[in-house]
Amino acid sequence: MKIAIIGAGPAGLTAAYELTKAGKQVEVFEAGNLPGGMAKTIRLWNQHVDTGPHRFFSKDKRVNELWLEVVGRDYRIVERLTRIFYQQKFYFYPLNPLNVLRNMGWGQAAVCVGDYLKEMAVPTRLDGSFETWVTRRFGRRLYEIFFKPYSEKLWGLPCSELDDDFAAQRIKKLSLFEALKNAIVKDRRHRTLADQFAYPNKGTGMVYQRMADYVTGHGGAIVYKTPVEKVMFDEGKGWAVDAVGGRSFGGYTHLISTMPLSLLIKCLNHVPSAVSQAAASLRFRNTILIYLNVDSDDLFPDQWIYVQSPEYKTGRLTNFRNWVPDIYGDEKSTILLAEFWCNDGEALWQESPENLIALAAAELKQMGFGNARILDGHVERIPRCYPIYYKGYKNDLKVIQEYLDTIPGLSVIGRYGAFKYNNQDHSILMGIEAAANILRSEKKDLWAINTDFEEYQESFIITRQGLVRE
């Protein structure tokens, strides 16, 4: 048994780690130069920073056990503080009724409550869109304030054209009533609003660096800077992989792909035209990460802030000073990350690093965080990092899934690979299950992960003491 894995992100490396532990031969092909994919950690200005605010949180026992197996005791529990920035004011997230009332005033708050009561009496007709789903749960005005601006920045399309799967995955049980109840009953929170989370001492990428080290230290191989341009299956010879630059690798009994699903279809031979057309319809959103080294160690207390106000291009600010001390060490400056989202054809995606850094600095100052001197800036561009849940995407995805399920020895997992808006825990679980399917000849439906939205009869969480039943 010899397994090729495309992509060294959370899903791919978890599969590689599990297969290597079982004594199987694994070769991983990674287009970048570091493990971790979108959850990698990089070094900037003598500090460790992630490619975004990557919080790990799960209630799945298997996922948490594996995470602790890799991380050991090299983590801290972070007390989460996350707020929404809207019209130059901060709103706690999850919503705090007194905080909302203080910021909005009685008149605006009355409109929000009135809209919510209207939905209870005459609910908005659901049409499969994010807009109607959230409006029905929160009322029109709260939707317009707290959901619409941010979502349209992130996805680049009107919320009326965004599938309600996005809401169902991220805010399944939350409503205005639940938000009010959660503000009073602290221990009954929706799982995406956890007050605490476990964070590795040297950044999120530490998890995947350790997985990679285990793989290479036990006979496996990880080939970096090696984008894959073709994959082929032959009944007699198994799987073969052609990389950019003319290098070829072969003799694999199985292939696990975490590369963007639309690119995988292009890499395969003899794909039916209907499948190619469906894959061409899939859309991804790009991210521009602008890091600013700020001459201050006390900017604001949040780990990250959602920037809802439509007058700002940035959608989220991350303050790496507020995660764990190990990532900044003895440095006195703060690294702030401003995230911008765009499509390939937009001017912002082609903008120079100097202009992007100037844009982020100007918006930071306009928000009121820009009094401290900015010492330096750095730009990272991440293409195709968010699968866009446009209305009707499930029809295109079904055509692709049904075709790929006919190909022997192929597993498709991960945020990019399965076209799922995964958190780390979802991708880790996909890696665990993909490895189990190969090792035990099981047929667990990998496509179903992160579609049933995780209901646990017994849930376990990571605390300072380790894994405990919730």
In order of their start, the domains of the chain are: 2-78+202-277+393-450 (3.50.50.60), 95-185 (no CATH), 284-387 (3.90.660.20)
The string of pLDDT tens digits covering residues 401-442 is 999 999 999 999 999 999 999 889 999 999 999 999 999 877
Share of the chain above pLDDT 70, in %: 93
Q: What are phi and psi of 428, to 5 degrees?
A: -60, -45
Q: What is the pLDDT of residues 334-389, one digit of tens each?
A: 999 999 999 999 999 999 999 999 999 999 999 988 778 999 999 999 999 999 99
Determine the Cα angle at 276 with ends 275 and 279, to 5°. Answer: 85
Give residue 174's pLDDT: 62
Q: Which two tokens stand for residue 171?
A: 């805010």
DSSP string, 433-454: HHHHHHHHT----GGGTTTS--
358 vs 300, 336, 355, CA distance in Å?
21, 14, 5
pTM: 0.92
Higher per-residue confidence, 326 vs 445: 326
Q: What is the pLDDT of residues 290-317, one digit of tens each?
A: 999 999 999 999 999 999 988 999 999 9
In this prediction, residue 28 carries a pLDDT of 98
The span from the CA of 403 to the CA of 264, in Å, is 12
Q: For the chain, give the mean pLDDT.
A: 91
| pLDDT of amino acid 443 | 80
pLDDT tens-digit map of 273-282:
999 999 999 9
Can you read off the two tokens belonging to residue 127?
């049409």
Confidence band of 191 (pLDDT split at 50, 70, 90): very low
DSSP 300-314: -S-SEEEE--TT-S-
CA 330 to CA 323: how far, in whole Å?
15
Cα of first residue to Cα of last residue in the chain, in angstroms, is 39
The pLDDT tens digits for 107-125 are: 998 998 899 999 999 999 9
